[in-house]
Amino acid sequence: RHIQFGRQLLLRQQHDNEAGDDGDDSFDLSHLQALSTVAAQLEQYENLVVANLGEELVELFLGWSPRNADPDRARELMYDGLGVCGRDALQRVYRIYVNRLLDVMRMTTRTTVGEFADEADSSVKACVTSMTLDRFLDCLKLLLEQLLDSIKSAVAVQEFCTSLQQQQQSNDDNSGRVALPFAKPSPDEDAPSEAVSSAAELSAKSIAELLRLRKEAHSLVALEEMKMLWNTCLSFLSQVESLSPGFKATGLRATLLSQAKAFVERKHESNMSAMAAALDSERWTQCDVSADRQAQLTRLCSGRAVTSSRSSTTRPGGASSTDKSPEADVEGVRYKVVWSSLFLVEMVMMNIDCAAHFQSLATNVVSKVSELLRLFNSRSTQLVLGAGAIHSAARLKSINAKHLSLVTQCLGMTIAILPHVRAALMAQLPPKQHNLLTDLDSIKKEYGEHNEKVLNKFVTIVGGIVEHGLAPRIGGTNFDTRARQLSEDVNPLPCCNFLDGVSTNTRKMHHVLNSLLPQDHLQDVFSRILAFLDHKVPSLFDAA
């Protein structure tokens, strides 16, 4: 105030002179050599005062929090100190505050990352890339908490300055104080909002950069770990965007989405390789179904495919996690399945979980599910119907009816769950993209055609035995002698070798399939076998 008063005296004297008061009693102070440097000295003194008061105000703002705030001192500095020095003084101080706030946030990032480093002198890049995922998540959570505290502090400062502006506007006085440069309608002059938006932008960029450094590592993590990383970052984003209305962290969202996409792609490559290896080593023998895998099937068929099994405290029938069943239950129908079939269900469920959690990638996931289903169908066709399992890693000696019956059971179970897979994926897709699911309808048809080929293969097996193994017996049978024996002997005449062989092999086939196929499939198979025999046996006799 003393500085302003001194300036006013000089200005008033100058004004009086300019007014033309040329009386003998007036004296022009500007001609005094002793006062020629007063204006410059007052300006220097003012700059020093502004610097000292500004530094104190900046420190108050940087430490501002609900528990650590001194609004009275801040109001005194802004009104009675900096306010009388002019509008530019307050604006300069606030610019310093914004820059210092951002510097503190940058230092916080470097310090927090350094605390989790294995080596004290490592760079930020070296620290981040060398961390394990668990350690990085711990570091990330601590850093996000500290960055949020800085943004909340800036929001509290903004609210304080806005309330001061409103109080000033409501006081219709002529005290001579300049208007505080806060909470102005023009965005260019809204210094508190600039601090909040700048802090939000810097925090989003910092996290995006840390994630970018770990792009390769994050593509190799497990699904639950990727979901944890995704949830942590999205929770931070939602809080930041709520604190800074109008701010959209598009950069961080794009980085997250890019890493989730890389994860899905890498996981799909791994799944395809694992499925191919599982099929190549598959011996096509029945396996038990664990309670957890049965719970997966139950959730899928009941419309709860994306509900984590960890959230379910009970299992069907009160089964424990170690209980096993010899068959898989799909809506009351029981299937005898092999390991690779259960592995396929696990991968499909994982992809549905990805589609639900990373909904922006749901369209990508649909194609991944289709590729997995087609791989299982085509490769199992080659291995069993094409007898490839004889030369694969499984090294089967032959392909028999038991192998075929397990294949048709696995195909039947997959066909039964496909409508539920379709519904689960549809729930994650926008209506305009539902046409992508027509590919699953085509796959269902392909599985049905494969199953039809397997059922016909049973007929082919019996037909091969009859035509190539038993037909030569017809020529070695003297039916004239048998006819005389039939007329002379009152005892029943034994069946000829050919028909006896047909009957015996048909019974053997029934014995094998009766324990493996459901009744409807069993009846279907033997209806085909008997229809074949009805047509083939007479033709063989005619040919003989």
126-155 residue pLDDT tens: 888 889 999 999 999 999 999 999 999 999
Q: Which helix (H) or strand (E) holds 391?
A: none
Residue 505 shares a structural domain with residue 420:
no
- Residue of higher predicted confidence among 158 and 384: 384
Residue 174 shares a structural domain with residue 87:
yes
Residue 352 shares a structural domain with residue 388:
yes
* Residue 244 maps to a domain: no
Residue 433 shares a structural domain with residue 468:
no
**Residue 292 has which token pair?**
């957890």
**Residue 452 has which token pair?**
């039809």
Give pLDDT, residue 339.
96
* Separation of alpha carbons 431 and 116, rounded Å: 46
Residue 310 shares a structural domain with residue 191:
no
* Separation of alpha carbons 116 and 99, rounded Å: 27
Burial zone of 84 (CB within 10 Å; 0-12 exposed, 13-18 middle, 19+ buried):
middle
* Residue 259 maps to a domain: no
* Residue 465 maps to a domain: yes
Give pLDDT, residue 515.
87
The lowest-confidence range among 267-281, 411-425, 499-513 is: 499-513
Sign of the CA dihedral with 324 first, then 330, 336, and 339 last:
negative
pLDDT for residue 168 is more than 90? no
* Separation of alpha carbons 196 and 247, rounded Å: 10
Which of 399, 418, 450 is at the close of a domain?
Answer: 450
* Separation of alpha carbons 223 and 229, rounded Å: 10
Cα distances (angstroms) measured from residue 349 to each of 124, 330, 343, 368, 422: 38, 15, 10, 12, 12
pLDDT for residue 167 is more than 60? yes
Residue 392 shares a structural domain with residue 476:
no
* Separation of alpha carbons 161 and 171, rounded Å: 16
289-290 and 328-330 strand pairing: unpaired
* Percentage with pLDDT > 90 across the chain: 54
* Residue 290 maps to a domain: yes
**Residue 89 has which token pair?**
């003084």
Which of 413, 429, 450 is at the close of a domain?
Answer: 450
Residue 188 shares a structural domain with residue 41:
yes
* Separation of alpha carbons 148 and 107, rounded Å: 14
Global pTM exceeds 0.85: no
- As for how many domains the chain has, the answer is 3
Give pLDDT, residue 161.
79
Residue 194 shares a structural domain with residue 168:
yes
Contact between residue 287 and residue 345 where contact means Cβ atoms under 8 Å apart: no
Measured at the CA of 125, the angle between CA 121 and CA 128, to 5 degrees, comes to 95
The lowest-confidence range among 453-457, 513-517, 528-532 is: 513-517
Residue 382 shares a structural domain with residue 291:
yes
* Residue 149 maps to a domain: yes
Q: Does residue 334 sit in helix, strand or coil?
A: strand
- Residue of higher predicted confidence among 43 and 540: 540
* Residue 254 maps to a domain: no
Which of 450, 475, 498 is at the close of a domain?
Answer: 450
Residue 501 shares a structural domain with residue 528:
yes
* Residue 24 maps to a domain: no
Domain around 476? 459-543
Least Cα distance to 367 among 348, 393, 384 occurs for 348
* Separation of alpha carbons 379 and 384, rounded Å: 9
* Residue 470 maps to a domain: yes
* Separation of alpha carbons 150 and 424, rounded Å: 42
Residue 121 shares a structural domain with residue 199:
yes
Residue 439 shares a structural domain with residue 396:
yes
